[in-house]
């Protein structure tokens, strides 16, 4: 089955670091980009960035550049989103998603993970 399975919910304190994961299965992981989308509580969708696991080429939204790091480990078909110093404003649901067209960034997302809720609170 083609799917993206994300790691579980996290509760962290401000200033802590965090790395959440998105494990892909059922398709050629290195041939499709994987993106990350943020959804703050009761808010809309925000495109954060995207990575091509084949060569780790990564593109960030200017809004998130320098705030997060996107990476991938093709040996275990897993993409990651990480923070080095969380803020309360990072509290959100985070989704990974795969474009529908192989090898393309210019494509709608047709495959989504179930989401990882990150709560940052003291």
Partner 1 sequence: DIVMTQSPDSLAVSLGERATINCKSSQSVLSSSNNKNYLAWYQQKPGQPPKLLIYWASTRESGVPDRFSGSGSGTDFTLSISSLQAEDVAVYYCQQYYSTPPHTFGQGTKLEIK
By the 10 Å C-beta count (0-12 exposed, 13-18 middle, 19+ buried), 21 is classed as: buried
**Counting contacts by CB under 8 A, is residue 62 touching partner 1?**
yes
**Counting contacts by CB under 8 A, is residue 118 touching partner 1?**
no
Shortest spacing between CB 57 and partner 1, in angstroms: 11
**Residue from the set 30, 61, 67, 69 that interacts with partner 1 by CB under 8 A:** 61
d(CA 43, CA 116): 15
Contacts for 44-52 with beta carbons within 8 Å, 24 or more apart?
48/81, 48/94, 50/105, 51/79, 52/103, 52/105
Site for partner 1 in 65-104 (CB under 8 A): 95, 97, 99-100
Shortest spacing between CB 41 and partner 1, in angstroms: 12
- Binders of partner 1: how many residues, by CB under 8 A? 28
d(CA 56, CA 32): 11
Residues that bind partner 1 (CB under 8 A): 35, 37, 44-50, 59-63, 95, 97, 99-100, 105-110, 112-115
């Amino acid at each position: 089955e083609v799917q993206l399975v994300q790691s579980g919910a996290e509760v962290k304190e401000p200033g802590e670091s965090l790395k959440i994961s998105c494990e892909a299965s059922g398709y050629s992981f290195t041939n499709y980009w994987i993106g990350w989308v943020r959804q703050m509580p009761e808010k809309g969708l925000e495109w954060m960035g995207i990575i091509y696991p084949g060569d780790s080429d990564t593109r960030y939204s200017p809004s998130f550049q320098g705030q997060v790091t996107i990476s991938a480990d093709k040996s275990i078909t897993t993409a990651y989103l990480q923070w080095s110093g969380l803020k309360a404003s990072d509290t959100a649901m985070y989704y990974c998603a795969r474009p529908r067209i192989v090898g393309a960034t210019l494509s709608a997302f047709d495959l989504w993970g179930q989401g990882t809720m990150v709560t940052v609170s003291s």
